[in-house]
Amino acid sequence: MHDNTLSEDIASRRTICFPINRSSNEILLGMKLEGFGKGKYNGFGGKLKTGETPEQAAKRELSEESGLDVSISDLEKIAIIDFIFPFKPEYNQLVHVYFASKYSGSPKKTDEMNPKWFSMNNIPYRKMWDSDRLWLRLLIEGGKIYGKFFWKEDNETVDHYEIQFLDAFK
């Protein structure tokens, strides 16, 4: 299912960063206000710019979308996920996923996202992408994964998926 080269040829390389507060057992999600995923809660992230590493993009996107600042050294890589949309290939994404438990600033609404803290026991999966209920739970429980999610023709529902648990990322 997976080799070390991953799917770097996928149309869009992206990041998602989830700020977490371990002391209160909360996760910061943002309601997407425009663009791809509008009307859904998600982590903070987006496309890599030319020459940017996934970590640099995660830091930049978190700041742009939430007002929080994070040091690259405080990003914990927890997943790489291929999202494959057979009926709309331009949606295909290879996403590097991070937790950030150290950050500075206060979350603020931006043009793109409206941040809100949720208890890790009360994540609004019904207001998120269909796949999130399958993989985000595993990450919250401490897993590290490589996943592939294939979407149905409606581009809203997972058709099938594969998950490989990893010990660590290089």
pLDDT at 9: 45
Q: For residue 16, what are the contacts with CB-CB under 8 A and spacing of at least 6?
A: 42, 43, 44, 45, 58, 95, 96, 97, 98
pLDDT at 155: 96
Under a CB-based contact definition with an 8 Å cutoff, are residues 151 and 86 in contact?
A: yes
Q: What is the reported pTM?
A: 0.92
Q: Which two tokens stand for residue 37?
A: 């995923």
Indicate the domain borders of the chain.
Answer: 13-166
pLDDT at 7: 45
Q: Encode the chain (170 residues) as per-residue pLDDT tens digits.
A: 333 334 444 348 999 999 999 999 999 999 999 988 999 999 999 999 988 999 999 999 999 999 999 999 999 999 999 999 999 998 999 999 999 999 999 999 999 999 999 999 999 999 999 999 999 999 999 999 999 999 999 999 999 999 999 998 86
Residue appearing with tokens 């987006």: 46
CATH class of the domain whose range is 13-166: alpha beta
Q: For residue 88, what are the contacts with CB-CB under 8 A and spacing of at least 6?
A: 155
